[in-house]
Amino acid sequence: MREHSGILTVDLHGKNVYQARVTVDALLRRAGGGVYRIRLIHGHHGGTALRDFLRQEYAGHPKVRRLILSPDGGTTDLVLRAFC
């Protein structure tokens, strides 16, 4: 996990759906006021199960304002607040 300019980045490669859920839920709980986006790197060449899960599960989460989907399908950003 890395934090750079208010963006937390975590690589979910090698995790299953359960492990990804635990990781993302913990990040959402611990995200402080300086974090406005969580970038989830899940890839897409090994299948789309993680990508589809993340987009379905967190699109309606109360802390997530919107999702940003990468053009290549390999990352999903959870936007928590507007960057000021």
Give per-residue burial for 40-50: e unless 16+ CB within 10 Å, then b.
bebbeeeeeeb
CB 22 within 8 A of CB 53: no
pLDDT per position in the chain (84 positions), as tens?
A: 665 678 999 999 989 999 999 999 999 998 888 899 999 999 877 678 899 999 999 999 999 999 999 988 899 999 998 865
Q: Where are the domains of the chain?
A: 2-79
In CATH, the number for domain 2-79 is 3.30.1370.110
Question: If 0-12 CB within 10 Å is exposed, 13-18 middle and 19+ buried, where does residue 12 land?
Answer: buried
CA dihedral sign of residues 68, 66, 80, 61: negative
Is the pTM of the predicted complex or chain greater than 0.85? Answer: yes
